Structure 1
Amino acid sequence: MSFYNIETHCNLTTQPLVSSIMPPLLIVELLLGLPGNLMALWVFSRHLRSWMPNVVYLLNLVLADFLLLVSLPFRIDHMLHDENWVFGDAWCRINLFMLAINRSASIGFMTVVAVDRYFKVVHPHHRVNFITVRQAAGIAGFIWFVVISSRLPLLANDLLIKKNNLSLCRSFNPFKVPPPGIVLHYIMYLSEFFLSFIVLVFCSARIYCVLRRRQIEKKKKARQTIGILLVIVAIFLLCFFPGVALGLSALYLKSLGEKYCEVFRFNGELFVLAIGFTYLNSVLDPVIYGFCSSIFRDAVKKAISQFALVKCNPSHNRWSKSGSHNDRTKSEGDI
C-alpha cells in the first residue's frame, strides 16, 4: 500500500523548529553515545569467560544502542535538508524500523535487568537466580523475537510521503485513518512504555521495602542495588516519557477536530523533539553498565588511571603485566 495519496489530518507540513534544533542535538548524541558503547562492547567481549546472566542482558542493550547509532547519521542528514529524505523508500523503512527496534529493545532489556535485580534481592533462593548464561541468552533471544516481530509493520508499509517536492520519512504521521500496521506500531509505542514502567516501579518498591525491613539499606551492596534501579527508572522516564506524553496529547488534539490544527502541528513538532530524548538512551546506557557491572567499572577506572599516568609522566606509559593480570582476575570474579 502506498501512503502518497492517503489523506492526513490538518495537512502534512514540514517542521522548521525540528529542522533547527534536532541536527545539533542528534550530532551531540552520536558523538557521546558512540565512544561509551564501543568501550562497553570492547569490555564485555574481553571477559567472555566471566560472563553472568546480567552481563548478557547488558551486552544486548549495547547491541540495541548500535542500531540507533548506525541510524542516526541518516536522520541527521534528513533534518539538515529540511526533512527531505534522499535515500529512497526501502532505506526509509529500514531506518525507521531500526530506530523503533532500538527503543523497544532498550526498554525490554532495561526491564529485564531490573527484574533480575528484583529476584536476587527479594527472592534470593528462587531458581531464576541460578539460570545459566545459555538460558539468559535464550531470554534475550525471546525479547529480540518479540521486539522485531511487533515492528515488522514498519517494513511492510510505505513510510515515504511526497509533499511539496519533499520526501518525508516519518513513522508517526497524522493520517486521518492510519493503516492497521501503523495502528499496531502506535499501540506498541504506548503499551511497551506503560507495561515496563509498572514493572520497574513494582521492582523498585519491593526491593526498597525488603532492604528496609532487613535494616541493611545502609550497606554498600544494598545502596548499590537501590542506585541501579533509581538510575534505570530515571533514564527510562527521561528518555521515553516525553514522547509518550506528547503522543497521547496529539491523539487528544486530533479528536478535537480541524479547528485545533495550529496547536496540533505545534504539538507534533514537540513530539519529534521528544523523540530526540528517546535517542538519548544510547548516551546514558553506559551509566547503567557502570552501575550493574564491576567489569565495566574497573575497565573505565583503569583507562582513566592509565590516561592520567601517561599524561603526567609519559615515560610510564605501560602497566606491569603482573599488575594487569591481577586486576583482571579481580574484576572477573566480581560482576
Structure 2
Amino acid sequence: MANINGSFYQLIEDCEATHKALYKFYAAVMIVIFILALPLNASVLHLFIFKLKFWKSNTNNVFLFNLVLADILLLFCLPIKAYNFIDGERRSKNDTVCKAMLFMLFLNRGASIAFLTVTSIDRYFNVVHPGRKNLLKALKKSPQISILIWLLLLPLTIPTMLKNFDCCNSHKSDAKDDTLVKDVVDSMREVVFFTQILIPFVILVYCTVHIVNRLRKKTVGDKTKLKRAVFLVMSVMVVFSFCFLPCTIARMVLLIVRVQELSESAQDKAAVAFDGLMVLSYMDCLLDPLVYCFCSTKFKGLYLSNYFPFLVKDGAVPLESSTGNTTQPPRNNVI
C-alpha cells in the first residue's frame, strides 16, 4: 500500500496529470478561449494602432492599448498549455519551454492586472477628485510610464520561474530538500503570486466604492452616461473577482493542504482544482476588451463601423475618427 501511495504521490511531484479526462476538458476550455479571444484582441489592437493612433489621442488609450497587448501576448501561451494538458502533463517536460511559459504567463498576466489597476486609479482621480493634481495624471501624459510598468514587472517573474512552481510544489514535504534557502524561495514566489492579485483587488475595491458613491451623489449631468459609468466600474470588479479570486483561494487551500501534510489524495484534488481555476483566470483575455473597450460608445461605434458596418445604421458616423477627433463638440466625461 505504501508503494502505491508513493507512486501516486510521485506522479503529482513529476507534474503528470492524474485525472487525464478532466485535464483534456481544461485543454478544450483553453482552446475555446484562444479561438474567441485572439480575433477579438487582434481587432482591438489593430483599431488602437491604425485607427485611433493611441499615442496621439486620449492619453488613457495608452493604458488600454497596453492592457490589450498584455492579453494578446498571454493568449499565445494557451495552445502550448493546452497541448501539455492533452498529453497528460501539467507542464512541459522540456525545462526551457516550461520556464519560458512561466515567464510569459506571469509577466503578461501581471501586466494585464497592472494596467487594469492603473486605469481604475486614473478613473478614480478623474471622477472623485477631478480638479486635484496627482502624480498619475502627470505621468500618464508620457508613454514612458507604460514601459516603466513592464520593466517593474520583470523582477517579479524570477521567483515564479523556479522549478516546480507550475506544479504547485511550494513547501512540499521532502526531507532532502528541507533547507532554509528552499523555504525562502518558496515563500518568495508565493508572496509574488498573492500580492500580484490581492493588492490590486484591494485598490479596485477602494476605487470602485468611491466612484460609485461619487456618481450616485452627482445630480447634474447626463444620467445615461452616469449609469454607464457605474456599470463600467462594477463590471471591472465582477471580471476581476470572477477571473482571479477563485484561483487565489484555491492556491491558498493547496498550500494549507501541503503544509499540514494531508493525504496524497487531498493534495492531488487541491492541485487539480487550482489548475482548473487557473484556466478560468485566462478568461480575463476574453472579457477585458468587452469591459474596457466596448463600454465606451465612441469606441463601440468606431469598432462596429470598421469591422461590422452592416450593423451600423445608414448615415451614422462614428463618434471618433482615426485621429481621435469627434464629430460632436467635446464634453466633459465622467469616465
**What TM bracket, shorter-length normalisation?**
0.7 to 0.9
Q: Which residue of 1 aligns with 2:264?
A: 261
Q: Structure 1 residue 12: deviation in Å?
A: 4.1
Q: Is the 8 A contact 1:122 1:207 kept in 2?
A: yes
Give the aligned residue type for 1:131.
Answer: A
Deviation at 1:215, TM superposition (A): 2.9
What TM-score do you get using the length of structure 1 for normalisation?
Answer: 0.80
**Amino acid in the other structure paired with 2:151:** F
- Pick closer, same or farther for the CA change 1:183–1:10 going to 2, 3 Å: farther
Residues 223-302 of structure 1 correspond to what in structure 2 (within 5 A)? 223-258=227-262, 260-291=263-294, 293-302=296-305
Deviation for aligned residue 1:269 = 0.2
1:101 counterpart = 2:83: no
Matched with 1:90 is: 96
Whether the aligned pair in 2 keeps the contact of 1:228 and 1:291 (CA below 8 Å) is no
1:296 counterpart SS class: helix
User: Residues 19 and 332 of structure 1: is their aligned pair in 2 closer, same or farther, counting only changes over 3 Å?
Assistant: same
Cα contact 2:41–2:68 (8 A) shared by 1: yes
CA distance in 1, matches of 2:57, 2:41: 18
Aligned-residue offset at 1:326: 8.1
- How far does residue 69 in structure 1 lie from its aligned partner after superposition? 1.3
CA-CA distance at 1:61 after TM superposition: 0.7
Of the candidates 157, 167, 188, which is equivalent to residue 151 of structure 1? Answer: 157
Q: Please state whether the residue corresponding to 2:117 is helix, strand or coil.
A: helix
- Alpha-carbon separation, structure 1, partners of 2:159 and 2:107: 12
Residue of 166, 171, 177 corresponding to 1:170 = 166
Aligned 8 A contact 2:244 2:281 in 1: yes
- 2:83 aligned partner, one-letter code: D
CA 1:331/1:106 → structure 2, altered by over 3 Å: closer, same or farther?
Answer: same
Q: 1:56 to 1:294 in 2, by over 3 A?
A: farther
Tell me, in whole angstroms, the C-alpha distance in 2 between the residues paired with 1:171 and 1:102. 19
Q: Does the C-alpha gap of structure 1 residues 197 and 230 become closer, same or farther in structure 2, counting only changes over 3 Å?
A: same
Residues 168-191 of structure 1: per-residue CA shift (max 9 Å, x gap): x92532533556444322211111
Shift of 1:332: 3.4
Which whole-Å CA distance do the structure 2 matches of 1:41 and 1:208 have between them? Answer: 29
Deviation string 1:206-258 (CA, Å, 9 cap, x unpaired) is 11222222335971222222122111111101110110011111122223224
- d(CA) in 1 for partners of 2:228, 2:69: 25
- Give the structure 1 partner of residue 3 of structure 2: none
Q: Which whole-Å CA distance do the structure 2 matches of 1:115 and 1:140 have between them?
A: 14
Query: 1:252 corresponds to which letter in structure 2?
Result: I
Closer, same or farther: CA 25–65 of 1 in aligned 2, 3 Å:
same
Q: Which residue of 2 aligns with 1:131?
A: 138
Output the amino acid matched with 2:26: M
- Structure 2 residues without counterparts, runs of 5 or longer: 1-5
Rate the CA distance shift 1:179–1:138 in 2: closer, same or farther, 3 A: farther
Query: Which of 44, 60, 65 is 2:66 aligned to?
Result: 60
Once the two structures are TM-superposed, the CA of residue 265 in structure 1 deviates from its matched residue by 1.0
Between 1:84-93 and 1:68-77, the stretch displaced more is: 84-93
The alignment-based identity, stated in percent, is 25
Q: Indicate yes or no: 2:313 matched with 1:306.
A: no
Deviation at 1:267, TM superposition (A): 1.2
| RMSD of aligned residue pairs (Cα, Å) | 3.1
**Partners of 2:152 and 2:92 in 1: CA distance:** 31
CA distance in 2, matches of 1:327, 1:298: 8
What is the deviation of 1:44?
0.4
Distance 1:134 1:171 in 2: 41
Letter in 2 for 1:279: Y
Q: Identify the residue that residue 33 of structure 2 maps to in structure 1.
A: 29
Displacement of 1:120: 0.7
**TM-score normalized with structure 2 length:** 0.80
Alpha-carbon shift at residue 292 of structure 1 (Å) = 5.5
Question: Kindly tell me: are residues 253 and 87 of structure 1, through their superposed partners in 2, closer, same or farther at Cα, counting changes over 3 Å?
Answer: closer
In the TM superposition, residue 142 of structure 1 has moved relative to its aligned partner by 2.4
User: Gapped runs of 5+ residues in structure 1?
Assistant: 1-6, 160-168, 310-318
Q: Which one of 181, 189, 198 corresponds to residue 202 of structure 2? A: 198
How far residue 122 of structure 1 moved from its aligned partner, in angstroms, is: 0.5
1:140-183 per-residue CA deviation (whole Å, 9 max, x = no partner) reads 2222122111112344x345xxxxxxxxx925325335564443
